[in-house]
Amino acid sequence: MVYLDHAATTPMHPEAAQVLTEQLARTGNASSLHASGRAARRVVEESREVIAECLGARPSEVVFTSGGTEANNLAIKGLYWARRDVDPARDRVLFSSIEHHALLDPVTWLAAHEGARIDTTPVDRQGRVVVERLREQIEADPASVAVVTTMWANNEMGTVQPVDDVVALAKEHAIPVHSDAVQAAGYLPLDFAASGLDAMTVTAHKLGGPVGVGALLVRREVAPVPLVHGGGQERDLRSGTVGVALIAAFARALEITVERQAEVSARIERLRQRLVTGLLQAVPDAVVNGDPEPGPQHRLPNIAHVTFPGCEGDAMLMLLDAQGIEVSTGSACQAGVPQPSHVLLAMGYDDAAARGSLRLSLGHTSTEADVDRLLAALPQVRDRAVTASLVRGR
């Protein structure tokens, strides 16, 4: 099997899997006062310190969640409610047009159920937020803006967003800013304190940790309204018995990621270049989307998003899958849903291009052999997909 869908989830680092296994064999609720509970609490707090250090945060700013989706919901809903409760006139949420559905859907829920007014900030042809349009949206009525959110790097294109500019603009008007950094954390150095963000989302399974655990980094001065009420285990922002084993494995995976990030990202960038060069030779009319320039200010090193004119991306996905090559047409949460990518549509692509695209994403286990297998299969797969499209069109 060739796995080229690391942007959906990436294999666990063996060291993180070992930590998970060891901790699962131990008993102890981290909120209990006896010896087993204290030992579990020590594991959680030591893991919190590791994660904080890796991400440039204070330990008290790390709030554990079940993953990126919960963290995004807590950030956007919690900050909206907190700001609106102080001033009911603060009822606007500004967000980019290319957000993951884990952010897009909570925002639209706020509009449908909580009376929020939502403004979508457009992106350019490379999938990058147009900061001047955001400025216009804010300055039209800054006192009404509850929160601004812009992802750190797009999960389909890999395009890195101008988070520094967004933060600087929002801070002119004392508006809190959140960023979904789920895709970026595995491949870019992140420093929460230096970013000026008020909240930032990360998750374990995108960087070699287990599924089912993530974190919202929240500045100590910021107090979102909780979504889940109960024991208040996580700074009174998130209740529920903490998953000690998951958290410990998360910390180990992040530690490994940060230690090896420069080396691994450089290697993966070379693999991506090999993939793109070979792909354009094998299928000359293919179009590689997003920012063509490498580097942390431009795009992630592991994602190549490609449009194949004249065919459906879903057809190519299934034909490749039949040959043991696993890719994606975009966000995994939309898999099987017959609609074009909202990201490509926001970038100005038409419906046909949005439907005829694949996301090829590399990771820490990817090899040259994986890339070569894909390149060898692509010409025939493309031809069969075009034929299938023509047949359906008759």
Q: For residue 354, is pLDDT > 90?
A: no
pTM of this prediction?
0.95
Contact in structure between 213 and 64 (CB atoms under 8 Å): yes
Is 83's pLDDT higher than 80?
Answer: yes
State which H helix or E strand residue 144 sits in.
Answer: none
Final residue belonging to a domain, choices 255, 289, 304:
255
391 confidence band (pLDDT: 50, 70, 90): confident
- Check whether residue 345 and residue 233 sit in a common domain: no
Per-residue pLDDT band at 217 (split at 50, 70, 90): very high
More confident residue, 177 or 350: 177
Please name the helix (run of DSSP H) or strand (run of DSSP E) that holds residue 106, with its range, or none.
helix 101-113
pLDDT of the residue at 339: 74
Could you tell me which of 191, 365, 170 has the C-alpha nearest to residue 267? Answer: 365
Query: Measured between alpha carbons, how far is 277 from 326 in angstroms, rounded to an integer?
Result: 20
* pLDDT higher than threshold 90 for residue 226: yes
pLDDT tens, position by position, 35-74: 999 999 999 999 999 999 999 999 999 999 999 999 999 9
Whether 318 and 200 share a structural domain: no
Please check whether residues 243 and 288 belong to one and the same domain: no
- Tokens, residue 189: 């150095």
Q: State the residue range of the domain holding 344.
A: 2-9+261-393
Clarify whether 333 is annotated catalytic. Answer: yes
pLDDT at 137 over 60: yes
The helix (run of H) or strand (run of E) holding residue 27 is none
Average pLDDT over residues 270-274: 98
Checking if the pLDDT of 246 tops 60, the result is yes
Q: How confident is the prediction for the chain on average, in pLDDT?
A: 95
Domain boundary among 229, 255, 281: 255
Q: What is the mean pLDDT of residues 136-148?
A: 98
> What is the rounded distance in angstroms from the CA atom of residue 384 to the CA atom of residue 295?
35
What CATH number does residue 339 fall under?
A: 3.90.1150.10
pLDDT value of residue 394: 45
- How much of the chain exceeds pLDDT 90, in percent? 93
Q: Which of 226, 255, 284 is the last residue of a domain?
A: 255
Q: Which of 85-94, 303-312, 339-348 has the lowest mean pLDDT?
A: 339-348
Total tally of structural domains belonging to the chain = 2
Q: Are residues 266 and 250 in the same domain?
A: no
| 163 shares a domain with 64 | yes
| Beta-bridge partners for 307 | 287, 357
pLDDT in tens, 143-161: 999 999 999 999 999 999 9
What number of H helices and E strands is found in the chain? Answer: 12, 12
Question: Does residue 268 sit in the same domain as residue 246?
Answer: no
Interval 207-216: pLDDT, tens: 999 999 999 9
**Separation of alpha carbons 97 and 261, rounded Å:** 29
Q: Which of 322, 333, 335, 337 is an active site residue?
A: 333
The 10s digit of each residue's pLDDT in 283-313 is 999 999 999 999 999 999 999 999 999 999 9
Q: How many percent of the chain have pLDDT more than 70?
A: 97
Model confidence at 255: pLDDT above 90 = yes
Q: Are residues 42 and 122 in the same domain?
A: yes
Query: Do residues 296 and 272 both lie within one domain?
Result: yes
Q: 64 with 147, same domain?
A: yes
Instruction: With a cut of 70, say whether residue 240 has pLDDT above it.
Output: yes
Whether residues 268 and 207 fall in one domain: no
**Domain CATH code at residue 149:** 3.40.640.10
Same structural domain, 220 and 271? no
In this predicted structure, what is the pLDDT of residue 337?
55
Same domain for 245 and 265? no
Encoded amino acid at 112, one letter: A
Provide the pLDDT for residue 336: 53
- E-only strand ranges, 37-188: 62-65, 92-96, 117-121, 145-149, 177-180
Is pLDDT above 90 for 192?
Answer: yes
Burial 179-208 (b: 16+ CB within 10 A, else e): bbbbbbbbbbebebeebbbbbbbbbbbbbb
